[in-house]
Amino acid sequence: MSKPSRQAARRFGTRHFPDSYRELFFLRPPGPEEVPGTSVFFMVQIDLSPLIGARPGERLSFTLDEGPQQLDDISVAFLRGPIQFTRVQGGILVEAQVETRVEIECVRCLELFPYETVLEVEETIGLGRPRPGITYTLTDEGWFDPLPLLREQIWVNLPMKPLCRPDCKGICPECGANLNLEPCHCAEERVDPRLAPLAQFLKK
């Protein structure tokens, strides 16, 4: 997929940053309506090149408001909240509070259900030079893809044993029926092997 030019990207205003610097740009690849046969949504790319040569303390701030996204193996309904990038010694500090909703599987009934959470993000990203302890970096042109960082935070926030509801009845271990939706008669049909001849006699 070809990379759109910076001029074609959607522009947002900036705060807490000298007016002499360029404004913050978002790079959004073509959406589903532009790519026939696909239903995948793409996360924005953020131009942080103004912060590369900035003094520590300079920052770019904006509000994230995105619809459905496919974060690799996680589908989210939305991503909303403030996100801020601050130039620090040796990198750029990312701070954000992003609300989202994902579909996860209940450990009892194995059905998918919506789960809402708030991602508390605080991560330092590098400036393109590999460094110990730095997982995320800018591209050579100064673009940052927040998708991997947000995906990681979602996995951190997911419960160890997610339940669709506190009183979920789970599934029948014999027939696999979802006990929240239908009754199960397996227990009634289960007969002690020692009484099997008697059960067969009573059925006659």
Reported as a single tens digit per residue, the pLDDT across 63-111 is: 888 888 888 888 899 999 999 999 999 899 999 999 999 999 999 999 9
Close Cβ partners of 201 (under 8 Å, ≥ 6 residues apart): none
* Judgement on whether residues 115 and 93 belong to the same structural domain of the protein: yes
Using one digit for the tens of pLDDT, what is the confidence trace for 9-44?
A: 333 333 344 333 333 444 444 444 433 443 344 557
* Judgement on whether residues 175 and 159 belong to the same structural domain of the protein: no
* Judgement on whether residues 78 and 12 belong to the same structural domain of the protein: yes
Tell me the residue type at 42: F
Does residue 11 lie in a domain region?
yes
* Judgement on whether residues 100 and 138 belong to the same structural domain of the protein: yes
Round to whole Å and give the CA distance between 42 and 79. 12
pLDDT band at 184; cut points 50, 70, 90: confident
* Judgement on whether residues 157 and 78 belong to the same structural domain of the protein: yes
* Judgement on whether residues 150 and 199 belong to the same structural domain of the protein: no
Round to whole Å and give the CA distance between 56 and 38. 42
Does residue 1 lie in a domain region?
no
* Judgement on whether residues 138 and 200 belong to the same structural domain of the protein: no
Using one digit for the tens of pLDDT, what is the confidence trace for 46-70?
A: 889 899 989 999 999 888 888 888 8
Round to whole Å and give the CA distance between 56 and 88. 5
pTM more than 0.75: no
Does residue 192 lie in a domain region?
yes
Does residue 182 lie in a domain region?
yes
Residues 189-199 have a mean pLDDT of: 60
Say how many domains are in the chain: 2
Does residue 101 lie in a domain region?
yes
* Judgement on whether residues 190 and 124 belong to the same structural domain of the protein: no
* Judgement on whether residues 163 and 175 belong to the same structural domain of the protein: no
The closest of 158, 163, 136 to 73, measured between CA atoms, is: 158
Domain range holding 136? 6-167
* Judgement on whether residues 124 and 202 belong to the same structural domain of the protein: no
Does residue 27 lie in a domain region?
yes
| Residues 100 and 55: beta-carbon distance below 8 Å | no
Helix H or strand E segment including 148: helix 147-157
* Judgement on whether residues 193 and 111 belong to the same structural domain of the protein: no
Using one digit for the tens of pLDDT, what is the confidence trace for 136-175?
A: 889 888 889 888 899 999 999 999 999 999 999 999 888 8
* Judgement on whether residues 96 and 190 belong to the same structural domain of the protein: no
- Angular region, 88: left φ>0, alpha ψ -120 to 50, beta rest: beta
